């Protein structure tokens, strides 16, 4: 009996992620901070590490520098050494948009030399923008047991959400017999997680066969289902695509629940704490005499003298006396000055909120953002990296304050619901 070669992992981390709005102005979606200490990609990378897989190619494209700094040598995930490692695979691009990846399968095809230089029996293909905990070793064993050409990680989702995913219809043996990509009138609620195990030779043949087949969900899988052995691997744990502002906010809030379905520590999720050039060993959080903290995640290096309720604070955040932070997510080193209020707000790094300012003013959440109505429509307001909000300003619901905005950019004392500055 031949010895199985360890599976090769390809981690797709090049998507634009435009629905995350200003959070991806200067970074790739997988590099967006999550739950205070982590980046979104940490979950996929840690799952790889915890599954005993050691060879990973990370396919980058859109604004990759922050992501590349975060990945570093792969040491944070024990992916360094003679027989292990993380390889950054940038796109083979020219000067035209048409030279960039045309889809998930095209991204892998453009890096086919990496596949050919790293012998393996199977290739595990993942997305870098999901929050979940999964044992890929178990999925590989299932794939081998089924003698599958392709195995697709799948889970049941609400019927109202299936239009966002590839959807598969299965028989009694979990063989996928029909496939719909983002169906408008779905026949099933079984959704693809964007996690695939391919027989390596089958994948290579599929990529070589037709170079017009650029996407796994749209092209490769439907053909495979019609002609070959494709099985669903059922998943029953927590999994979330955090590609929208609403989903991203909800997943962060899930971390705060008493019986949270997300447990980065128990899941063994690791991150590269030294990637930002900031001190890795920040002092413990400091709480002043009048500090009030309820149902919140407070990271190291924070200084809390005001009130924090149901919020996620990354390292180095300062909340001054009389300030209130509620139902919000603050990235590293934000400063919330005295007597100000942040309500249902996401602030990127190093935002400064002036004394007495309000972000998230009023109770009317129904006025969507005028410029991006599909991004902000539930009351969440966004403040971009290093924005400086002046004292006593009032910013409404579903607003966007762009990165590096200064006091001189505000025309008056009010930013109405749905406006963008």
**Residue 186 resides in a domain:** yes
E strands of 224-311, at which residues? 230-234, 239-241, 286-287, 292-294, 297-298, 303-304, 307-309
**Residue 134 resides in a domain:** yes
Domain interval for residue 350: 282-421
Q: Does the pLDDT value for residue 317 go beyond 60?
A: yes
Rounded to the nearest integer, the mean pLDDT of the chain is 90
Instruction: Show Cβ contacts of residue 138 under 8 Å, excluding neighbours closer than 6 positions.
Output: none
218 and 356 share one domain:
no
Give the pLDDT confidence score for residue 67 in this predicted structure: 87
**Residue 272 resides in a domain:** no
**Residue 232: CA count within 13 A, CB half-sphere:** 24
188 and 322 share one domain:
no
More confident site: 123 or 276: 123
- Report the C-alpha gap between 42 and 139 in whole angstroms: 20
Instruction: Show Cβ contacts of residue 411 under 8 Å, excluding neighbours closer than 6 positions.
Output: none
251 and 315 share one domain:
no
Instruction: Look at residues 256, 272, 298 and tell me which one is the last residue of a structural domain.
Output: 256
400 and 345 share one domain:
yes
**Residue 344 resides in a domain:** yes
Q: Does the pLDDT value for residue 108 go beyond 60?
A: yes
Q: Does the pLDDT value for residue 347 go beyond 90?
A: yes
- Report the C-alpha gap between 42 and 39 in whole angstroms: 5
245 and 286 share one domain:
no
To which H or E segment does residue 11 belong? Answer: strand 8-12
50 and 189 share one domain:
yes
Q: Are 197 and 7 in contact (CB under 8 A)?
A: yes
CATH classification of the domain holding 346: 2.160.10.10
289 and 247 share one domain:
no
Q: Are 192 and 235 in contact (CB under 8 A)?
A: no
303 and 222 share one domain:
no
CATH classification of the domain holding 199: 3.90.550.10
For the ranges 105-109, 145-149, 332-336, the lowest mean pLDDT is seen at: 105-109
24-48 pLDDT tens trace: 998 889 999 999 999 999 999 999 9
**Residue 378 resides in a domain:** yes
More confident site: 162 or 285: 285
**Residue 51 resides in a domain:** yes
Mean pLDDT throughout 204-220? 83
DSSP 335-360: EE-TT-EEESEEE-TT-EE-TT-EES
Residue 123 structure tokens: 């290739």
176 and 96 share one domain:
yes
314 and 374 share one domain:
yes
What confidence tier does 19 reach under pLDDT thresholds 50, 70, 90? confident
Give the pLDDT confidence score for residue 277 in this predicted structure: 58
- Report the C-alpha gap between 282 and 291 in whole angstroms: 20
**Residue 140 resides in a domain:** yes
- Report the C-alpha gap between 367 and 122 in whole angstroms: 49
Give the pLDDT confidence score for residue 92 in this predicted structure: 64
- Report the C-alpha gap between 123 and 365 in whole angstroms: 45
Q: Are 176 and 168 in contact (CB under 8 A)?
A: yes
187 and 76 share one domain:
yes
Give the pLDDT confidence score for residue 95 in this predicted structure: 44
Q: Does the pLDDT value for residue 276 go beyond 80?
A: no
DSSP 53-68: --EEEEE--SS-HHHH
Q: How many domains does the structure of the chain reveal?
A: 2
241 and 374 share one domain:
no
Q: Are 238 and 131 in contact (CB under 8 A)?
A: yes
Q: Does the pLDDT value for residue 189 go beyond 60?
A: yes
- Report the C-alpha gap between 46 and 385 in whole angstroms: 27
* Sign of the CA dihedral with 74 first, then 75, 78, and 83 last: positive
Mean pLDDT throughout 94-101? 54
DSSP label of 164: G
pTM of the predicted model, to two decimals? 0.93
- Length reported for the chain: 421
**Residue 275 resides in a domain:** no
Instruction: Look at residues 221, 256, 291 and tell me which one is the last residue of a structural domain.
Output: 256
């Amino acid at each position: 009996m031949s010895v199985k070669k360890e599976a090769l992992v390809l981690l797709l981390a090049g998507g634009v992620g435009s629905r995350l709005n200003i959070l991806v102005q200067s970074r790739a979606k997988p590099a967006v901070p999550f739950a205070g200490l982590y980046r979104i990609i940490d979950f996929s990378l840690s799952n790889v590490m915890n599954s005993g897989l050691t060879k990973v190619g990370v396919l980058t494209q859109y604004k990759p520098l922050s992501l590349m700094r975060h990945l570093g040598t792969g040491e944070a995930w024990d992916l360094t050494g003679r027989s292990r490692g993380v390889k950054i695979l940038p796109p083979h691009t020219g000067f035209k948009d048409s030279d960039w990846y045309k889809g998930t399968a095209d991204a892998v095809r453009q890096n086919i030399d990496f596949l050919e230089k790293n012998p393996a029996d199977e290739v595990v293909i993942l997305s870098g923008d999901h929050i979940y905990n999964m044992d890929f070793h178990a999925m590989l064993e299932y794939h081998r047991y089924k003698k599958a050409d392709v195995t697709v990680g799948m889970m049941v989702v609400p019927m109202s959400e299936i239009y966002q995913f590839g959807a598969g219809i299965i028989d009694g043996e979990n063989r996928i017999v029909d496939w719909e990509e983002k169906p408008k009138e779905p026949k099933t609620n079984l959704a693809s997680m964007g996690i695939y195990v391919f027989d390596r030779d089958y994948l290579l043949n599929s990529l070589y066969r037709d170079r017009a087949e650029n996407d796994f969900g749209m092209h490769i899988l439907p053909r495979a289902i019609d002609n070959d052995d494709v099985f669903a691997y059922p998943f029953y744990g927590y999994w979330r695509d955090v590609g929208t502002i609403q989903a991203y906010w909800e997943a962060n809030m899930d971390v705060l629940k008493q019986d949270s379905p997300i447990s980065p520590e128990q899941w063994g999720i690791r991150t590269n704490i030294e990637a930002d050039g900031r001190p890795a060993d920040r002092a413990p959080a400091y709480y002043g005499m009048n500090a009030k903290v309820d149902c919140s995640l407070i990271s190291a290096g924070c200084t809390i003298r005001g009130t924090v309720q149901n919020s996620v604070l990354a390292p180095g955040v300062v909340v001054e006396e009389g300030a209130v932070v509620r139902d919000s997510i603050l990235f590293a080193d934000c400063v919330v000055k005295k007597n100000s209020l942040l309500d249902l707000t996401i602030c990127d790094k190093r935002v400064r909120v002036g004394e007495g300012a309000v972000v998230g003013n009023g109770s009317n959440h129904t006025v969507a953002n005028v410029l991006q109505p599909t991004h902000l429509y539930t009351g969440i307001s966004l403040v971009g990296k290093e924005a400086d909000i002046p004292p006593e300003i009032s910013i409404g619901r579903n607003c966007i304050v762009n990165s590096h905005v200064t006091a001189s950019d505000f025309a008056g004392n009010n930013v109405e619901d749905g406006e963008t500055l």
